[in-house]
Amino acid sequence: MDELLNDFVAETRETAQAIAGEIVLWEADPADQARLDSIFRFIHTVKGSCGFLDLPRLERLSHAAEDALSAVRAGLRTPDARLVTAVLAIIDRIGMLVDAIETGESVSDRDDTALVQALSLMADPAAARPDAEQAAYPAPVRTMARSIRVPIDLLDRMMAGVSDLVLARNELSRGLRVSAEGSAVMAGFERLSGSIAEMRETITRTRMARVDQLFSALPRLIRDVSAELGKRVVLHIEGGDVELDREMIEMVRDPLIHIVRNAVDHGIEPPADRVLAGKPAAGAVRVAARQSGNQILIEISDDGRGIDPDALLRKAVAAGVVSQAAAARMDRDAALALIFRAGFSTAEQVSTVSGRGVGMDVVHANVERIGGQVTIDSQPGQGLHIILRVPMTLTIIPALTVSVAGQPFAIPRSVIEEILRVSAASVRIERGCGLTTVSIRGERLPLVGLAETLAGGAAGGAAGGGAGDCDPPILVVLRPGNGGRYVLGVDAAHDHEELVVKPAAPAIMAIGIYGGVTMPDDNRPMLLLDAAGIAARTGIDIATAPAPIVAEAAVPTIPTLLFRDLDGAERAIRLGAIERIEEVAGSDCTLIAGQLRLNRDGVVVPLLSMTGSVADRPKLRVLRISDGTERLAYAIDQVIDIVDLAEAVAPAPDPGLVCGVVMVADRLVELVDPYWMFAAVARAQVPAGVRPLALLVAREDGWMRAFLRPIVEAAGYRVAFAGEDGATTARATVVIADGSLPDAGGGDAVRLRLRHAATGDADIWRYDRQALVRALDAARGGAR
Amino acid sequence: MLIVRIAGESVALPAETVESVVEIEAMTAVPLAPPHVVGLAALRSRVVTIVDPRAVMDTLTGVRGAPDMPFSAVVVAIDGHPYGIVVDEVLDVLPATGSPSPLQGRVTGGWSAMMRSSVIVEGRQYLLIDPAGLVAGGNGDVQPTAAAVN
């Protein structure tokens, strides 16, 4: 139901109940002017709302009652029992109709006229007995109201109560873990935990309101602004049913209105220009909301002239916002981001509607303050597309915890661009004249030491200059908005957490470097740092700090899946290789024809695993891996996480299921190799008959059979030993010998050497696996 | 009236502004905060800003260190924010006789910043602490740090 109508229903029902009492009292004392006034006001309000909401029946009824009452007020009529009855009847009917609006039922309007007539002076008392007549109808079933109105304050208290519950639960959980592991108490506790979590979720939802509330002001705004500017604009609204925290709606309201107003003022061209440009005379502004994970996206797009990044740059240079040199290095996105700089308006002419230079910078700052982001994309001549991303609730902000001198602080994730170690090869700290900069991959950014800032008071807390300035070990690259960036040096970076952030006391907010306060699960308050505030305090003018020169040449990362392998070890695999992850029963896995296979719904794929004991497990998870044509599965215990890892891999010395080692946080994790898996399966699937023959000519038969044979077979060969089954060198693709080399026939010959020696001959040391495999592969290549 | 001892003096706090009296065992420091804001403490799920009247009282003594843990704090809410006022000891809760009257003469040192009136309790006159004045750093309307930032 429409939000407005909903409010009307709730409000009317509430006051109607109160007013019925007033009327009865008024009847007892008709001279009571105050009572009469309040009754009149109620009827009047209902009438007004009905006109607005287009409810003609209610309007007619309330209008009649209003007329009668105003006659009483003017002294033209004295109230008598008949009048009071008639007014009461009308109020009852209003209540019925209002219920009907909510439930969607219909109420017969047969006796509306009778009700109205009952009010008139002339009416015959007998004719005006709506009560009697009404008795003939089935008693109206008063369906329970499906919504109630609750003060926000009460909701806040409920929220605080639930937060307390969560904290108490955490404390209890710590205690129970020690004393009651596995007991029945624990099971009860788990249930309690579950219901608390559910309750928290429900209460969070009660604070949600439809984004419709935000959008309802837009049609009028567009109408007024376009009328003033002589433009024609059509507004499209989508996604009004998306829900957002009530407080958040208030925070987003001004930015949204500003952007929409800008779109009409600066974006949409006058009709004549539009026609010349081959566009419809009426411009279109589209406002759409949608939910994406924990965020709400509000998109505002228009089909106007857009923003020309080059024109923006020229203006920025002319206004002294950026230097000529900096401008020359900016790419399109960086140039567009200039619109968020303070005191910078794109309008050629200042109009009454917008263009006073207070604008997008304020929008940007406001949205960022609530943990959101603004992105902008422009197609000159085609229009502008702005996306506001805001968290669904005001209070929960994804943040990184860092610490200096043992005290933890939180930094909103949205301003963090990168976290680096000072020891990283691409990072160099440069000092000079009290100013410290960090050079990251060739780009210089000012460095601010958090410890110095917090200790140093207002006198330029930039790191360096001080006596004991050892470099902070962890550098956090921050982009607090306005396009500028700087680096914050901290002692340690800890977790990424979703934190419930509340504003701190005014005396603390006034310091200017804190954005709020949060209470992590350990029940110790933690301060949230305000990245822009720290920059302002330390005197770094981030607006003039060099804009990104390198177009985001951050360390390329590859999404990688971390999992617990069957042998208990943590391993990783590149996410791109995985088709899906599924849970299967151990009985679906069978060792058949020398290969473990997974049979799922009649489709059989090879199954690989680190250990052999797959079929004994009741359940296991498998990674379905595809190379585009072939499929196989890899058995794991469980999925741990998906992380972005650098491309760099320390390769394993020998090819195998594990192709190398990667760094995950501070741990070394083996990376499994899908290439090897497919290669292994593919080799095994080539029928023995068509595999090339490797003839082993052995002096030391045992070593050849036990050690060399598996390697040769793994390389895709059929193995025969000299003197067996009439194996001859003539049919062999490769001949391997550890002694004198027989005539190799048409194939390659490899002679193995017992000891490692740096001789220049073609012999291969028998433990030089790579050389051996290379030789085997080369031989097979030659055979084709 | 809540009668408390602060810096050795017995003073009164209007009981209707007092939410509770708590024992503070752990605090988070707030770097760069004005001297009287000594830290943040957790009170159930709320974060309470701890203010120390001794720091407001006499700026001549300079910044005092944080109070020794644990200490008692009187929790008051001002503009929707909970504050904990550090006290030496809570003495009693007693009804006041009559309404507070404006101060006659001057009180010494920093007390003047957070006291505007006195009250008679059980025949004895107590100076009445104005929690809002205390929270504002004893300087009712000017917050020195605010100007520096904006």
- Amino acid B65: pLDDT: 55
Strand order, beta sheet including A764-765: A718-721, A693-697, A734-737, A748-753, A764-765
Q: How far is CA A579 from the centre of its chain?
A: 23
Shortest distance between the Cα of B134 and any Cα of chain A, in A, equals 11
Third-level CATH fold of A687-783: Rossmann fold (3.40.50)
Nearest C-alpha of chain B: how many angstroms from A481? Answer: 17
Contact A407 B29 (CB under 8 A): yes
Which chain B residue lies closest to A536 (C-alpha atoms)? B149
Contact B144, A510 (CB under 8 A): no
> What mean pLDDT comes out for the span A203-213?
80
First CA to last CA distance, chain A: 74
Chain A contact probe: residue of B22, B27, B30 with most A CBs at under 10 A: B30
Burial class (CB in 10 A: 0-12, 13-18, 19+), A417: middle
pLDDT value at residue A342: 58
Nearest chain B residue to A508, by CA: B33
Q: Which residue has the higher pLDDT, A343 or A751?
A: A751
B81 contacts A506? CB cut-off 8 A: yes
CA-based nearest residue in chain A for residue B49: A505
Q: Total structural domains in chain B?
A: 1
| Binary contact (A505, B145; C-beta < 8 A) | no
Q: Which residue has the tokens 């760069």?
A: B32
Going by C-alpha positions, the residue among A722, A725, A774, A771 that lies closest to residue A744 is A722
pLDDT band at A612; cut points 50, 70, 90: low
Separation between Cα atoms, residue A136 and residue A370, nearest integer Å:
58
Pick A725 or A367 by higher pLDDT. A367
> Which tens digits make up the pLDDT trace of A116-169?
777 776 544 444 444 444 434 444 444 455 667 777 778 878 877 887 787 777
SS3 A689: helix
Give the fold, CATH level 3, of A210-391: Heat Shock Protein 90 (3.30.565)
Position B147 in a domain: no
A88-126 residues labelled b (16+ CB within 10 A) or e (exposed): bbbbbbbbbbbbbbbeeeeeeeebbebbbbbbeeebeee
Question: Which residue from A504, A507, A526 is facing B143, i.e. has the nearest CB?
Answer: A507
Distance from CA of A459 to the nearest CA of B (A): 11
- CB-nearest to A164 from B44, B51, B150 is B44
Contact A524 B28 (CB under 8 A): yes
Instruction: Give CA–CA dist A533/A314, Å, rounded.
Output: 29
Question: Residue A182 to residues A178, A298, A400, A448: CA-CA distances in angstroms?
Answer: 10, 47, 34, 49
Tell me which of B40, B85, B143, B150 to substitute to probe the interface with A (most A C-beta atoms closer than 10 Å): B40
Give the pLDDT of residue A409.
92
CB A367 within 8 A of CB A390: yes
Question: Is B42's CB within 8 Å of A407's CB?
Answer: no
Q: Find, among A515, A539, A540, A513, the residue nearest to A445 by Cα.
A: A540
Contact A239, A288 (CB under 8 A): yes
Q: Is the pLDDT of residue A357 over 70?
A: no
pLDDT at B142 over 50: no
The answer to the question of residue B29 being in a domain is yes
Pair of tokens at residue A490: 């901290």
**A590 to A276, A594, A678, A733: CA distances (angstroms):** 72, 10, 19, 34
User: Which spans in A444-515 are helix H?
Assistant: 450-456, 506-509
Residue B149: list chain A partners with CB under 8 A. Answer: 510-512, 533, 536-537
Among candidates B47, B137, B146 on the partner chain, residue whose Cβ is nearest the Cβ of A517: B47
The CATH number covering residue B38 comes to 2.40.50.180
Contact A511 B32 (CB under 8 A): yes
Taking residues A647-664, what's their average pLDDT?
75
**Which member of A511, A517, A524 has the closest CB to residue B26?**
A524
- Per-residue pLDDT averaged across B18-38, rounded? 86
Contact B31 A455 (CB under 8 A): yes
Please judge whether A507 and B135 are an interchain contact, meaning their C-beta atoms are less than 8 angstroms apart: yes
CA dist A423 and A409 (Å) reads 23
Tally the C-alpha atoms within 13 A of residue A434's C-alpha that lie toward its C-beta.
9
- Nearest by CB to A508, which of B37, B41, B45? B37
Query: How many CB atoms are located within 10 Å of the residue B104 CB?
Result: 7
Query: Is the pLDDT score of B149 beyond 50?
Result: no
Residue among A166, A505, A517 minimizing CB distance to B83: A505
CATH number for the segment(s) A557-681: 2.40.50.180
Within 8 A by CB and 6+ apart from A160, the residues are: B45, B46
Query: Could you tell me the residue ranges of all domains in chain A?
Result: 3-135, 152-206, 210-391, 398-537, 557-681, 687-783
Does B148 map to a domain?
no
pLDDT, one tens digit per residue, over A408-445 is: 999 888 788 888 888 777 788 877 666 678 888 777 88
Structure tokens at A35: 């009572």
Confirm if A351 and A229 have CB atoms less than 8 A apart: yes
CATH number of A3-135: 1.20.120.160
In order, the DSSP letters of A662-687 are EEETTEEEEEE-HHHHHHHHHHHHS-
Q: Is the pLDDT of residue A462 over 80?
A: no
Tally of helices (H runs) and strands (E runs) in chain B: 4, 11
Write down the pLDDT at residue A541: 58
- Which one of A452, A508, A526, A534 would you mutate to disrupt binding with B, by most B Cβ within 10 Å of its Cβ? A508
DSSP symbol at A390: E
Q: How far apart are CA A126 and CA A340, in angstroms?
A: 74
Domain assignment present for residue B129? The answer is yes
* Residues in chain B closer than 8 A to A512 (CB atoms): 145, 148-150
Task: Inspect the interface and report whether the beta carbons of B33 and A511 lie closer than 8 Å.
Answer: yes
Please compute the mean of the pLDDT values over residues A255-282 and round it to a whole number. Answer: 86
**DSSP helix/strand/coil, A186:** helix
Which chain B residues contact residue A163 at CB under 8 A?
A: 45
Length, in residues, of chain B = 150
Answer whether B33 sits within 8 Å of A507, measured CB to CB. Answer: yes
Give the rounded percent of residues in chain A with a pLDDT score beyond 90.
1
Mean pLDDT of all residues in A196-207: 81
As a whole number of angstroms, the distance between CA A177 and CA A185 comes to 11
- What is the pLDDT, as a whole number, of residue A287? 92
Chain B residues lying within 8 Å of A160, measured CB to CB: 45-46
Question: What angle, 0 to 180 degrees and rounded to 10, lies between the N-to-C axes of helices A33-53 and A3-28?
Answer: 160
Considering only CA atoms, which of A744, A660, A670, A736 is closest in space to residue A701? A736
Distance CA A637, CA A635 (A): 7
Q: Nearest-5° angle of CA A232, CA A234, CA A237?
A: 155
The top-scoring range by mean pLDDT among A114-128, A487-501, A698-712, B94-108 is A487-501
Range with top average pLDDT, A23-37, A130-144, A411-425, B56-70 = A411-425
- Asked if omega into B53 is within 30° of 0 (cis), the reply is no
Interval A52-93: pLDDT, tens: 777 777 888 888 888 888 888 777 777 777 777 788 788 888
Chain B positions touching chain A (beta carbons under 8 Å): 26, 28-34, 37, 40-42, 44-47, 49, 51, 79, 81, 83, 135-137, 143, 145-146, 148-150
Q: Using the Cα atoms of residue A632, residue A635, residue A639 and residue A641 in order, give the sign of their dihedral.
A: negative
- Per-residue pLDDT, B147: 32
Q: Is the pLDDT confidence value at A386 over 60?
A: yes
Nearest to A683 by CA among A719, A717, A716: A716
| C-alpha distances in Å from residue A700, one per residue of A634, A668, A725, A754 | 37, 40, 19, 11
Averaged over A253-280, what is the pLDDT?
86
Q: Is residue B65 part of a domain?
A: yes
Measured between alpha carbons, how far is A57 from A101 in angstroms, rounded to an integer?
A: 12
Chain A positions in Cβ-Cβ contact with residue B34 (cut-off 8 Å): 507, 511
Residue A190: pLDDT band (50, 70, 90) is confident
Distance (Å, rounded) from C-alpha B110 to C-alpha A594? 89
**Residues B40, A407: C-beta atoms closer than 8 Å:** no
Q: Which residue has the higher pLDDT, B91 or A350?
A: B91
Q: Is the CB of residue A594 less than 8 Å from the CB of residue A671?
A: no
- Residue with token string 């902008």: A376
Residue from the list A166, A506, A517 with its beta carbon closest to the beta carbon of B40 = A517
Q: Give the nearest partner residue to A167 out of B30, B45, B79, using CB atoms.
A: B45
Instruction: Please answer yes or no on whether A527 and B28 come within 8 Å at the CB atom.
Output: yes
Helix H or strand E segment including A589: strand A589-592
Percent of chain B with pLDDT over 90: 4
Model confidence at B143, pLDDT cuts 50, 70, 90, reads: very low
Q: Do A524 and B42 touch (CB under 8 A)?
A: yes
Check CB contact under 8 Å for A407 and B81: no
Closest residue on chain B to A532 (Cα): B149
**Domain span including residue B110:** 2-140
Q: How confident is the model at residue B92 (pLDDT cuts 50, 70, 90)?
A: confident
In order of A517, B59, B72, B93, B112, the CA distances from B51 in angstroms are 16, 14, 12, 21, 17
Residue of B nearest to A163 (CA): B45
Residue A514 with chain B: CB contacts under 8 Å: 30
Query: What is the predicted pLDDT for the residue at A130?
Result: 44
Contact assignment for B32 to A502 by CB distance below 8 Å: no
Residue A116 and residue A86: Cα distance in Å, rounded? 8
Beta bridge partners of B118: B101, B127
Query: Mean pLDDT in chain A?
Result: 75
Contact list in B for residue A452 (CB cut-off 8 A) is none
Span of A381-385, A727-731, B117-121 with lowest mean pLDDT: A727-731
Report the distance separating Cα A226 and Cα A743, nearest Å. 93
* Chain A: residue whose CA lies nearest to B38: A508
Residues in chain A: 784
Supply the pLDDT for residue A300.
Answer: 92
Residue A292 reports pLDDT greater than 80:
no
**Residue found by looking up tokens 């490692």 in the block:** A756
Give CA separation, A154 vs A3, A12, A187, B46, B79, in Å. 21, 22, 32, 16, 17
Instruction: Give the span between the Cα atoms of A782 and A745, in whole angstroms.
Output: 13
Please, which pLDDT band fits residue A690 given cuts at 50, 70 and 90?
A: low
